[in-house]
Amino acid sequence: MYNLVMKDLKLAINPLFFVLPVVLGALMLIPGWLYFIVLLYFCWITVPNIFGQFRAHNDLMFTSMMPVTKTDMVKARVLVIVILELMHMVPAVIFGIINLLLYPDLTYYFFGPYPGFWGLCLVMLGIFNVLFIPMYYKTAYKFGGAAFAGVTGAMVFATLAQWIGIQNSYVSDMFNGSGVHNAALQTSILIAGIVIFAAFTTIAYRIAAKRFHKVEIQ
Amino acid sequence: MLALDIRNLSKTYPNFQLKDVTFQLEKGYIMGFIGANGAGKTTTIKSMLNLIHTDSGEVRILGKNIAEHEIELKQEIGYAFGSIDFYTRSKIKTLTDVVKKFYANWDDEIYSYYLRRFKLDENKKIVELSTGMRVKYNLALALSHGPKLLILDEPTSGLDPIARDDLLDLFQSLVAEGEISILFSTHITSDLEKCADYITYIHNGRIINSAEKEEFIESYLLLNGSVSQLDPVKEQLISYKTNSFGFTGLIHAKDFDPSLNVKAARPTLEEIMIYFAKKEDMYV
């Protein structure tokens, strides 16, 4: 499993995609922006590019010929996706903290970079995973439809969450108002986000592994 | 002991069917797996490696069922599907560093030996290698983790005659000690006449014959005769070609009647393949 993860990180993924999250994370410094977009770049840019590379390099055949199980192949790939998601998340959170320090008096129209917002981002990435990963593993090479479904799901969630965040004063207060100073509330939203992300990703892995066992390696 | 034991492998595609493929390879021998393009060689090999799902049948490698012992067996099988076309923009060194981690018995000394023997430069990118050099690199990878069975799909295609000859010598030296067995598919039948111990011939998804090479060739005869001699043997011929001098046709040796006085010669593997393919055309 470790070898499979290292294979993707060393061989398959262009180093650009390890640097890009840091650059994109810096977008968190734009005052009062729609910060969901920062993480959506993962779904828009990183995923189509790296999965296109897997296909172009005939990775499916290459990996299938190694002494590895199909289950491990899926597990490793899901882990790689999670690593990349966290690589996008961590710089974004750091730049988010810098944002809060830089603009202490800013009024956020959209969600501000508080812990509760990161919980919502994790739910968004979880939705992306649960749609993209199982759909991709129907063939293990066609990523277009799967990426489209994943991106749509993530964007619909982000739009709805943000719309409610603006329209509903209770939610708005929770994420941008007095709620941001309630550490217990913020932490519990973040933890709920982590739990939902982990649950969705695990479900995605289980369905994908089951589907991948039926795939013929051509 | 059998290195390879394939029994009743069947697989149906919309336009192609692998039917009851059965053959065995004894440990320590080279088997040539021949057939025209699209005859089912690669499909058989892929089924053997559990890459595609078969509808029925059993594959046992080194005495173990591949479906149950896939990982363990893949450590002991070296395979090369023609030239390498993975991560071609990477350097040989980078790709090898990734591949070797997967094999418990990887031997750097053997790998370096093959790099030298095949004159491969580790710092070159795969895309910079010629087709022949890519085949050699693929073989170097396949040979460096101590495989007991080598499954090679078209390993000699794209190689020049000198490199092919060198490779055939290498195959023979590998099996000499009796530990390693080789199954290699090809349509370059002259390679097999040089080095194979057994021949398995697949045509249209079915195994036509699988036997020791001499026995395989001797089970057919190539007949040469005048037009008037054609009629009495026509029914027994697998297929035949006619020209202004008469006919040439392939017959099962057991069906040949020497009293007919038709000139009979030993066919080459290529001729056997050609006449079997022609048989199909005759009934179309």
Q: Span A35-58, mean pLDDT?
A: 93
The architecture in CATH of the region B2-216 reads 3-Layer(aba) Sandwich (3.40)
State pLDDT tens for residues B234-274.
Answer: 888 888 888 888 888 999 888 888 887 888 889 998 888 88
Would an 8 Å CB–CB cutoff place A85 in contact with chain B? no
* Alpha carbons B190 and B184: distance in angstroms, whole number: 13
Contacts of A11 (CB under 8 A, 6+ apart): B87, B90, B94, B95, B98
DSSP letter at B91 equals: B
Per-residue model confidence (pLDDT) at position B281: 60
**CB distance B51–A69 less than 8 Å?**
no
Beta carbons within 10 angstroms of residue A18's beta carbon: 14
Q: Looking at residues A77-97, what average pLDDT do you find?
A: 95
Q: In this predicted structure, what is the pLDDT of residue A154?
A: 96
Do B179 and B147 touch, CB atoms closer than 8 A? no
B51/A3 CB distance under 8 A: no
Which residue among B86, B94, B103 places its CB closest to the CB of A62?
B86
* Mean of the per-residue pLDDT values of chain B: 88
Residues of B in Cβ contact (< 8 Å) with A11: 87, 90, 94-95, 98
Kindly list the residues from chain A whose CB atom is less than 8 angstroms away from the CB atom of residue B52.
216-218
Residue B68 pLDDT > 60? yes
Calpha distance A126→A134 (Å, rounded): 12
**Residues of A with CB below 8 A from B85's CB?**
58
Residue B282 binned pLDDT confidence (cut-offs 50, 70, 90): low
Question: Would you list the domain boundaries of chain B?
Answer: 2-216, 221-283
pLDDT tens-digit readout, B205-235: 999 889 899 889 989 999 888 888 888 888 8
Comparing CB atoms, the residue among A10, A68, A214 nearest residue B98 is: A10
According to DSSP, the β-strands at B181-186 and B30-34 are parallel
Largest Cα–Cα distance of chain B, in whole Å? 67
**Which of A11, A67, A68 is facing B98, going by the closest CB pair?**
A11
Residues A100-122: what's their mean pLDDT? 90
What does pLDDT average to over chain A? 92
Q: Which of B51, B53, B85 sits opposite A64 (nearest CB)?
A: B51
State the Cα torsion A86-A87-A89-A90 to the nearest 10°.
100
Q: Taking chain A, what is the end-to-end CA distance rounded to the nearest angstrom?
A: 22
A65 in contact with B, Cβ within 8 Å: yes
User: For the ranges A183-192, B23-32, B89-98, B272-281, which has the lowest average pLDDT?
Assistant: B272-281
Q: Stretch A11-16: mean pLDDT, rounded?
A: 91
Complex confidence, ipTM: 0.85
Interchain pair B87, A61: CB under 8 A? no
Q: Pick B102's closest partner by Cβ from A3, A11, A216.
A: A3
pLDDT at B280 over 80: no
Query: Average pLDDT in the B275-280 region?
Result: 80
pLDDT at A179 over 90: no
The whole-angstrom distance between B205's CA and the closest CA on chain A is 17
Q: Which residue of A has its CA nearest to B48?
A: A65
Using only C-alpha atoms, chain A has a radius of gyration, in whole angstroms, of 18
Rounded average pLDDT over A93-122: 91
- Of A12-21, A207-216, B104-113, B170-179, the poorest mean pLDDT is in B170-179
Secondary structure element (H or E) that encloses residue B134, with its range: helix B131-143
Count, residues in chain B? 284
Q: Which pLDDT value is given to residue B284?
A: 45
The answer to whether the beta carbons of residues B132 and B163 sit under 8 Å apart is yes
A14 touching B, CB under 8 A? Answer: no
- Asked if the model's pLDDT at residue A17 lies above 50, the reply is yes
Residue type, B269: L
* Contacts of B127-130 spanning 24+ positions with Cβ under 8 A: B127/B88, B127/B89, B129/B92, B130/B158
Smallest Cα–Cα separation from B152: which of B122, B175, B129, B178?
Answer: B175
| CA gap A67, B284 in Å, rounded | 44
Does residue A211 belong to the interface with chain B, where contact is any CB pair within 8 Å?
no
Residue A181: band (very low, low, confident or very high) from pLDDT cuts 50, 70, 90: confident
Contact flag A3-B52 (C-beta cutoff 8 Å): no
Indicate the length of chain A as a whole number: 218
Asked if residue A16 has pLDDT above 70, the reply is: yes
Task: Measure the N-to-C terminal CA separation of chain B; round to a whole number of Å.
Answer: 42
Q: Does the CB of A19 have a partner CB in chain B at under 8 Å? A: no
Percentage of chain A beyond pLDDT 70 is 100
What's the pLDDT tens digit per position in A134-154?
Answer: 999 999 999 999 999 999 999
- DSSP H helices, chain A, are 2-7, 16-25, 36-41, 47-56, 59-64, 70-102, 115-136, 144-167, 169-175, 183-212
Answer for the pair B59, B25: CB distance below 8 angstroms, yes or no.
no
**Contact status of A169 with chain B (Cβ, < 8 Å):** no
Alpha-helix residue ranges (DSSP H) falling in B144-240? 161-175, 189-195, 213-218, 227-234
Decide if A69 and B98 are in contact by the 8 Å CB cutoff.
no
Six-digit token string for B121: 């430069």
Torsion of CA A15, A21, A24, A26, to 10 degrees: -120
